[in-house]
Homo-oligomer: A and B are copies of this chain.
């Protein structure tokens, strides 16, 4: 990669630019993809820190680069309950799932290699992949996520494709979820065309309606699926703790890159999460998260239903933190945000264009709306104001 190329790829995150709006107390922001700090298990984590810091001297020392042994066993237990057969040799503890995106791309992607993503896709993944200079091929999605027929067409058109990046559960930014049949079809297509799948599921625990669906990893018979999980939404992002599940050979290769990148994840934070899982009721905590975020989601969707004009639609996320707004085709959501929504209604979202890979079609009439951080009152108020400005927008 040339220096100029590298710098060109390193655009500041559009979402972080929008933080200025979030910090304006007059603006109701639906921008951030952050969990609500009010729902962090603060007391339990404070107790876990206290226990570990005072009783485990080695929690301050270097540790196994693959991750604390007990924590990997606990992750295995949870993955097994979720239908994925694995053992601690299949687990790599990460500095957040974001690190998994970076390490997997560095392992598999050379400059110019075709990398398939959903279009739109997670912005943080594009940021992680960009330095490897992939050739992005965006695969269209619908209300049920990635469309297998479109994926097969893309695989046929790109015979050397290396990897498919996919977020099957409550996708960021759209909130859509892949149904069971598509999950099977996508793994079969990966086998048929010889590509790896990077399955990213940070919101998996946060489901409000419908049944839990198997991971793609569960259908993986050829060691092609690398699953990424995260404690950022289910516990707290400030811990920076995620994990990869993959064939032990792939894990060993990722481990070498992890050692090169940062030696290991914080021993203290690994021990604290392990202690939390040991001593506190994680499932009860998750049930509470589903309850409180679910109420926000219901308010958001009910408000959109009530206030949006007929020519705007939105996704009905079964879990996660987002809904995806579709404005009339002639509208530019970024222009509407800056010239109308913020000045007239003091409401903000993230324009959808940022979530499409830089190559390929980048429609302008979408927006990501997060319901995780705003208060229930702000959700009700903000959606009503959004609806009003949108209804009055000249067509």
Contacts and interface: CB of A to CB of B under 8 A. Distances in A.
A262 interface: yes
Given A102-B262, A240-B264, A61 B45 contact: no
A130 interface: yes
A238 B106 contact: no
A282 interface: no
B127 A259 contact: yes
A61 B236 contact: yes
Contacts of A10: 253, 256-257, 260
A107 B1 CA distance: 10
B261 A12 contact: no
Q: Is the interface of A mostly helix, strand, loop or mixed?
A: helix
Interface residues of A, number: 65
Nearest to A103: B261
A128 B268 contact: no
A34 B60 CA distance: 11
A129 to B, nearest CB: 8
Interface in A194-245: 236-240
Contact of A62 (B63, B102, B238): B238
Given A42-B60, A60-B37, A260-B127, A268 B12 contact: no
Complex copy number for this chain: 2
Interface string A1-35: 11100110011110010000000000000000011
Interface string A247-274: 0000001001101111111111100000
A88 interface: no
Interface string A37-65: 11010110110011001100111111101
A124 interface: yes
Contacts of A257: 10, 131
Contact of A240 (B42, B53, B263): B263
Contacts of A130: 260
Contact of A238 (B13, B42, B98, B266): B266
A13 B259 contact: yes
A275 interface: no
B45 A256 contact: no
B262 A99 contact: yes
Contact of A96 (B1, B128, B239, B262): B262
Interface of A: 1-3, 6-7, 10-13, 16, 34-35, 37-38, 40, 42-43, 45-46, 49-50, 53-54, 57-63, 65, 94-96, 98-99, 102, 106-108, 110, 124, 127-128, 130-131, 236-240, 253, 256-257, 259-269
8 contacts: A35-B61, A49-B50, A50-B53, A60-B238, A61-B237, A102-B261, A131-B257, A240-B264
